[in-house]
């Protein structure tokens, strides 16, 4: 259950060696001391080599709303090409505040309680680096987890504690959760809707997270990048639960909502003192980014409700096409409640070892997918052995072509 990573960044008596040990402990270096290629890089290379359909990495293959794209072009033409303000342009901070009020009834002060970041990734990184202050601090994450979480916890020099999400519904066991959170817990990090499992956390899970955070005086950091891609129920930010708002940093991004993953415009909102703490770190990471993309994402956040509803409906349809294809091919499919990904079990197809199965898949049928083990600490692989993640955020023709290729697996 415990994963203790290398040295803190702050004890570098022998700088090159210490950096290397830290990075190695974080799993960022291979044993030979090279930058370890991520499974995503390895699989994307295989996609090119075999001219395979890449259902590995989660990026859409179609552009987002025309009004948003046009707003970025217009911003460049109007000269929005220099450093924006450190907290982000006022118009985007206001748009984030309006969006939180409109969809969730949250009241957020755009001047003191919102910070624009280089994607959700920077918001998470800055939040963890800002809030962790001792090697005894613990960060609780739900496993499988987005790959940057463990790396950042390691870079921050804290201890990663995991709560498993298991089949069939990938909800955490509440007793297990309560046994992991304790007085050393500094942060409970919650990704909902969840990548890679497609789970949307049940309300009793959210309530328990808040109760435990209050009891142990922990901060809740959320990753809600799929907030508008919840298929069967409106998304509920944890910050809306009683007692949560004063101890929650809510993180999201325009990448997934507006099919603009390359723009890296994210944000975090929460109590002013916490936002100031995050800003102190963020200013030394990127300082600022995306001067022309910030006004464009503000336009996106103000699109009518129909845009957001349609985006979820279109993606759900894609998941259905993909799910049918995977079932026909012989996979056992876990239909997602939200997000870009469908998880399927390849055991019946001889894929009891999903990592090996995924390495062979591009050469066998010309499709790339990612084993769930890529999101799980090595000592916990056994619980996820046959599971494979497929991205559904691709054009229907692409999913249909993938379907006909996968059908040859049987």
Ligand X SMILES: *Cc1c(COP(=O)(O)O)cnc(C)c1O
Q: How far apart are CA 339 and CA 144, in angstroms?
A: 15
Closest CA to 149 of 117, 115, 182, 194: 194
Q: How far apart are CA 251 and CA 332, in angstroms?
A: 32
Strand partners, 3: 160
CB of 338 to ligand X, least distance (A): 11
Burial class (CB in 10 A: 0-12, 13-18, 19+), 400: middle
Please identify, among the stretches 116-124, 134-142, 312-320, 328-336, the one whose residues bind ligand X according to the rule CB under 6 A: 116-124
Nearer to ligand X by C-beta: 263 or 406?
263
- Tell the residue number behind the tokens 């303000």, with chain if given: 85
Nearer to ligand X by C-beta: 256 or 394?
256
Report 254-273 residues binding ligand X (CB under 6 A).
255-256, 261, 264, 266
The residue from 113, 138, 208, 223 that contacts ligand X (CB under 6 A) is 223
Residue 270 in contact with residue 113, Cβ under 8 Å? yes
Is residue 225 near ligand X by the rule CB under 6 A?
Answer: yes
Residue 52 in contact with residue 58, Cβ under 8 Å? no
Residue 389 in contact with residue 338, Cβ under 8 Å? no
The alpha helices in 52-118, defined as continuous H runs, are: 66-77, 90-104
Is residue 342 near ligand X by the rule CB under 6 A?
Answer: no
CB of 352 to ligand X, least distance (A): 27
Nearer to ligand X by C-beta: 39 or 403?
39
Which residue's Cβ lies closest to ligand X? 119
Q: What angle is formed at CA 189 by the lines to CA 270 and CA 335, rounded to 5 degrees?
A: 115
CB of 224 to ligand X, least distance (A): 9
CB of 177 to ligand X, least distance (A): 19
The residue from 162, 197, 253, 342 that contacts ligand X (CB under 6 A) is 253
Nearer to ligand X by C-beta: 97 or 253?
253
Q: Residues binding ligand X: what is the number (CB under 6 A)?
A: 14
Report 117-156 residues binding ligand X (CB under 6 A).
119-121, 146
Other Cβ atoms less than 10 A from the Cβ of 355: the count is 17
Q: How far apart are CA 132 and CA 204, in angstroms?
A: 27
Is residue 247 near ligand X by the rule CB under 6 A?
Answer: no
Nearer to ligand X by C-beta: 97 or 191?
191
CB of 58 to ligand X, least distance (A): 6
Report 179-218 residues binding ligand X (CB under 6 A).
191, 195
CA atoms 292, 297, 298, 302: torsion sign: positive
Residue 165 in contact with residue 144, Cβ under 8 Å? yes
Please identify, among the stretches 89-97, 127-135, 250-258, 296-304, the one whose residues bind ligand X according to the rule CB under 6 A: 250-258
CB of 221 to ligand X, least distance (A): 11
Nearer to ligand X by C-beta: 235 or 256?
256
Burial class (CB in 10 A: 0-12, 13-18, 19+), 91: middle
Strand partners, 344: 333, 388
Residues of this chain that interact with ligand X (CB under 6 A) are 119-121, 146, 191, 195, 223, 225, 253, 255-256, 261, 264, 266
């Amino acid at each position: 259950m415990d994963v203790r990573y290398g040295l803190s960044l702050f004890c570098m008596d022998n700088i090159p060696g210490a950096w290397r040990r830290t990075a190695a402990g974080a799993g960022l270096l291979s044993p030979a001391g090279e930058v370890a290629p991520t499974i995503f890089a390895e699989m994307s290379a295989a996609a090119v080599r075999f001219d395979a359909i890449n259902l590995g990495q989660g990026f859409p293959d179609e552009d987002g709303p025309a009004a948003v794209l046009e707003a970025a072009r217009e911003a460049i033409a109007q000269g929005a090409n220099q450093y924006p303000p450190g907290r982000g342009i006022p118009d985007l901070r206001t748009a984030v505040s309006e969006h939180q009020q409109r969809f969730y009834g949250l009241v957020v002060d755009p001047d003191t309680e919102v910070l624009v970041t280089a994607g959700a990734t920077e918001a998470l990184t800055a939040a963890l680096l800002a809030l962790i202050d001792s090697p005894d601090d613990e960060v609780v994450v739900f496993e499988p987890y987005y790959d940057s979480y463990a790396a950042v916890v390691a870079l921050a020099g804290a201890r990663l504690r995991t709560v498993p999400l298991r089949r069939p519904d990938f909800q955490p066991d509440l007793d297990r959760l309560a046994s992991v959170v304790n007085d050393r817990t500094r942060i409970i990090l919650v990704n909902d809707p969840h990548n890679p499992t497609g789970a949307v956390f049940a309300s009793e899970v959210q309530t328990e997270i808040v109760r435990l955070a209050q009891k142990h005086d922990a901060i809740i950091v959320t990753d809600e990048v799929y907030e508008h891609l919840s298929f069967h129920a409106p998304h509920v930010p944890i910050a809306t639960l009683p007692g949560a708002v004063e101890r929650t940093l809510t993180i999201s991004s325009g990448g997934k909502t507006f099919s603009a993953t390359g723009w890296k415009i994210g944000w975090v909102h929460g109590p002013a003192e916490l936002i100031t703490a995050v800003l102190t770190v963020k200013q030394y990471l990127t300082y600022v980014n995306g001067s022309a993309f910030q006004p464009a994402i503000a336009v996106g956040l103000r699109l009518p409700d129909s845009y957001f509803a349609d985006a979820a409906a279109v993606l759900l349809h894609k998941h259905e096409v993909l799910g049918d294809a995977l079932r026909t091919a012989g996979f056992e499919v876990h239909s997602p409640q939200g997000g870009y990904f469908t998880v399927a079990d390849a055991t019946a197809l001889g894929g009891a070892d999903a990592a090996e199965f995924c390495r062979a898949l591009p050469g066998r049928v010309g499709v790339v997918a990612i084993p769930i083990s890529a999101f799980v600490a090595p000592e916990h692989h056994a619980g996820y052995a046959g599971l494979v993640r497929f991205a559904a955020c691709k054009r229907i023709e692409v999913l249909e072509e993938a379907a006909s290729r996968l059908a040859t697996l049987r």
